[in-house]
Amino acid sequence: MISVLILTRNEQLDLPGCLASVSWSDDVHVFDSFSTDGTVAIAQAAGARVHQRVFDDYAEHRNASLVVGFAYPWVLILDADERPTSALCAEMRSAVAGVADGVGGFRVRRRDFLFGTWLKHAQISPFYIRLVRPERSRYTRAVNEVIEVSGAVAELREPLDHFPFSKGIAHWIAKHNVYSTMEAELIVRQEGLQNPSWRTALRDPDFHTRRLHQKALFYRMPGRPLVKWLYMVGVRRSFLDGWAGLTYATLQSIYEYFIVLKVKEMRSGVERR
């Protein structure tokens, strides 16, 4: 069997659906950042074990969630707006039953949805490690965190569905306004990769390693918001996802512009001191 870990903060809208999608597990944990809505009551009513911790940054918070004490060696990590499909649930149970000892995690393909449309082309990074041995896993990076797994990472074929706009466009923008501030702070403090490599960014066999170098190189590029929009529309062909794809490309470019503006603002503030 597999334990389930769901991270929450005021998720009374999305949590019921998430809990229903993992009702096959008898060891569900909700790791909550002191929600002020009905999140905790919903989790308790569903029989989940609730743990609470004050949020500091994404990596530290998620690392704390990995040591709550699970009944099973494998843990499926979810956000409340994610739903493992029934096919994925069956595949996961089969995979962990026959997995080799050297495997520390499984990577899944996540399908993001907007306006009821799967962003098949617009979604830039659809692959995520979500089924792990917690004692072999560790998160790094304070925002847009990355999980590092000791051991091999195997692949699962069936999808994990994600509904990032379930609370509306305004909520997505507000959340990414916070993300952009944290990203800008990391850039100003120069906590990212100091010597990113194009070779690694394009050819490293590990997806997450490629993404780390791609992101570091991207942050050094002039005109990033426009470059990102052109890449998503022209290279990724997000227009094939229709209005949803074009909308998503535009929102991602706006998010990038938030980061550019905040870095400039923070650096000018430092210079004035």
pTM: 0.86
Helix (H) or strand (E) holding 253: helix 242-272
pLDDT digits (tens, 9 = 90+) for 188-226: 886 555 677 767 767 777 766 776 677 677 677 778 899
Please provide the CATH number assigned to the domain covering 3-162.
3.90.550.10
pLDDT digits (tens, 9 = 90+) for 126-150: 999 999 999 999 998 777 788 999 9
Are 187 and 259 in contact by the 8 Å Cβ rule? The answer is yes
Q: Which of 15-24, 149-158, 212-221 has the lowest mean pLDDT?
A: 212-221
What is the full DSSP assignment across 132-191? E-GGGEEEESSSS-EEEESSEEEEEEEEEEE-TTTT-HHHHHHHHHHHHHHHHHHHHTT-
pLDDT digits (tens, 9 = 90+) for 90-123: 999 999 999 988 999 999 999 999 999 999 999 9
* Mean pLDDT along residues 250-269: 93
Predicted local confidence at residue 250, as pLDDT: 98
Which residue has tokens 């956000």?
79
Contacts of 94 (CB under 8 A, 6+ apart): none
Predicted local confidence at residue 248, as pLDDT: 98
pLDDT digits (tens, 9 = 90+) for 79-98: 999 999 999 999 999 999 99
**98, 121, 139: which is closest to 5 by C-alpha?**
139
What is the full DSSP assignment across 22-68? TTT-S-EEEEES--SSSHHHHHHHTT-EEEE-----HHHHHHHHTTS
Predicted local confidence at residue 189, as pLDDT: 80
Predicted local confidence at residue 186, as pLDDT: 83
Q: Give residue 245's identity as a one-letter amino acid code.
A: G
**Greatest Cα-to-Cα distance within the chain, rounded to the nearest angstrom:** 60
Predicted local confidence at residue 194, as pLDDT: 62
pLDDT digits (tens, 9 = 90+) for 55-75: 998 999 999 999 999 999 999
Please report, for the chain, the start and end positions of each structural domain, with discontinuous segments joined by +: 3-162, 169-272
Is residue 23 very low, low, confident or very high in pLDDT (cuts 50, 70, 90)? Answer: very high
pLDDT digits (tens, 9 = 90+) for 223-255: 889 999 999 999 999 999 999 999 999 999 999
Predicted local confidence at residue 180, as pLDDT: 95
